[in-house]
Structure 1
Amino acid sequence: MSNTDIANNDTLGFIIHDVARMMRWNFERRAHEYNLTRSQWSVLVLLSWENGAQQKRLADIIGVTAITMTGLVDRLERNDWVERRQDPQDRRAKRVFLTDKVEPLIEKIKLVGIEVRESALKGISASERQQLTDLLSRMRANLCAQDADTK
């Protein structure tokens, strides 16, 4: 890596980080009217994909501590957007479920996500989008394999 790369912030890692940061910022700006934090909408979207996930799994995916996830779920529960239920296979664990009340909000959040993604991908062809997705997926798989090798 040359000094020019560092000065221009053109390294692959920086670009990936910067694009992710900018997409999050754009999403947060557009989703602000719904009075949700990024962490809260992350939980809601994850539950829309895996309703009834264990609270610990949600914390692991989002990358927060168990106590932080407890606070997030507490706030979502106060708004009647989620409910906790005992896990029938593990009495120590709680599963988190979406309520009917949150469904319209999740649809709005998903639309905001689509708008942000389309804005970021403006001028990029369908085949380039697929290639980008494929390459990033391979990078993720490589890093996951490395992580598994170190355990």
Structure 2
Amino acid sequence: MDKEFDGTLQGVFSQVMRLHFLRTHSLLEKTGVYPGQPPLLYLLYKKNGRSQKELAEKMGVKPATIAVMIKRMEKNELLERKQDEKDQRVSRIFITDKGKEVCKNLIVIHKEIEEECFRNFTEEEKIILRRLLMQVRDNLQTICNGEKVKCPFEE
């Protein structure tokens, strides 16, 4: 690694993102879920029976990516696909009971990671960091919107 870059704000931010990914991945391995799959489970846990198109839009990924993800998760019995009763061209995706249990475990894992990340922070420091990260997110979102890049965090 470039020692000069490591000390920069961008360098430290990159290191934090990488370490967070590695820690998340190590905990997810125990559940049999891949890193990109929890957001899909969460979306269906909140509102079951969404269309593939809606899921792709909410997650900010291409429909082909969602299709592959769903197929893999169907194989692991986390999701099931059914044709829409009113429009046979639309596939609706439903979380299974097994998927709901895995989702509950994922919530515990994400709380564990959050606890690990912010272990030595005061409540005030967490509030300040949250505000600063939201500002970074908003800055990048503004730029993405200007470039007509679809942001999955927009409602």
Q: TM-score range by the shorter chain?
A: 0.7 to 0.9
TM-score normalised by L of structure 1:
0.79
- Does residue 96 of the first structure (1) align with residue 85 of the second (2)? no
Q: CA deviation at 1:115?
A: 0.8
Which residue number corresponds to residue 30 of structure 1? Answer: 27
Q: 1:90 to 1:127 in 2, by over 3 A?
A: farther
- Percent sequence identity over matched residues? 29
Instruction: Give the CA RMSD over aligned residues.
Output: 2.6
- Paired residue total: 147
Task: Report which of the two has the higher share of helix.
Answer: 1
Q: CA deviation at 1:119?
A: 0.5
SS across alignment from 1:37: coil
- Does residue 142 of the first structure (1) align with residue 122 of the second (2)? no
| Structure 2 unaligned residues grouped into runs of 5+ | 149-155
Which residue number corresponds to residue 102 of structure 2? Answer: 105
CA distance in 2, matches of 1:21, 1:50: 30
TM-score normalised by L of structure 2:
0.77
Amino acid at match of 1:139: V
Q: 1:65 to 1:149 in 2, by over 3 A?
A: closer
Return the match for 2:49 from 21, 29, 52: 52
Contact 1:85 1:96 (C-alpha < 8 Å) held by counterparts: yes
Q: 1:49 to 1:129 in 2, by over 3 A?
A: farther
